[in-house]
């Protein structure tokens, strides 16, 4: 029988270096296994395609949710900023946590 080959689409993406969050901010990992020690991972977490525990590099598509630490407020708003590893580089974030929050006057 004569057949035809189907086109295989394969993309190679570079991994990102460790992410340094802006001053006075904290990061929340997504997927969360990146914040755990390798020995604390479940089998499911170890099999996650974004996880690479050995070299400290982040896989393409990994994301962090950034928030200001208390008592600092985000500038400019919104409260959170998400950064993503995109082919070896972290997307830029505009989140700055420069000023302490002012108390609300209700």
Residue 45 backbone dihedrals phi, psi, to 5 degrees: -65, -40
Residue numbers of the domain that contains 95: 25-100
Contact of 83 with 93, CB cutoff 8 Å: yes
Residue 36 falls inside a structural domain: yes
Domain tally, the chain: 1
Given a contact cutoff of 8 angstroms between Cβ atoms, the answer to whether 2 and 17 are in contact is no
Q: How many other CB atoms sit within 10 Å of the CB of residue 67?
A: 17
Domain membership of residue 93 (yes or no) is yes
Read off the pLDDT of residues 49-105 as tens digits, 9 standing for 90 and up.
665 656 667 778 888 888 888 888 887 667 778 888 899 999 988 888 888 887 544
Q: Report yes or no: 29 and 35 within 8 Å, Cβ to Cβ.
A: yes
SS3 29: strand
In a domain, 2, yes or no: no
Q: Are 59 and 49 a contacting pair, CB within 8 Å?
A: yes
Q: For residue 1, tell me if it sits in a domain.
A: no
In a domain, 4, yes or no: no
Q: Is the pTM of this model over 0.85?
A: no
pLDDT of residue 29: 67
Q: Does some domain include residue 55?
A: yes
Q: Which residues pair with 100 in a beta bridge?
A: 72
The Cα–Cα gap between 59 and 3 comes to 36
- pLDDT score for 106: 41
């Amino acid at each position: 029988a004569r057949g035809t080959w189907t086109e295989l689409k394969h993309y190679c993406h570079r991994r990102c270096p460790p992410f340094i969050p802006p001053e006075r901010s904290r990061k929340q990992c997504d997927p969360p296994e990146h914040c755990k020690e390798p020995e604390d991972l479940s089998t499911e977490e170890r099999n996650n395609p974004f996880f690479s525990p050995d070299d400290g590099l982040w896989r393409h598509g990994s994301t962090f949710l950034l928030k200001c630490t208390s008592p600092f407020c985000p500038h400019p708003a919104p409260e959170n900023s998400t950064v993503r590893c995109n082919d070896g580089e972290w997307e830029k974030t505009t989140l700055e946590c420069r000023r302490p929050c002012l108390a609300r006057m209700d």
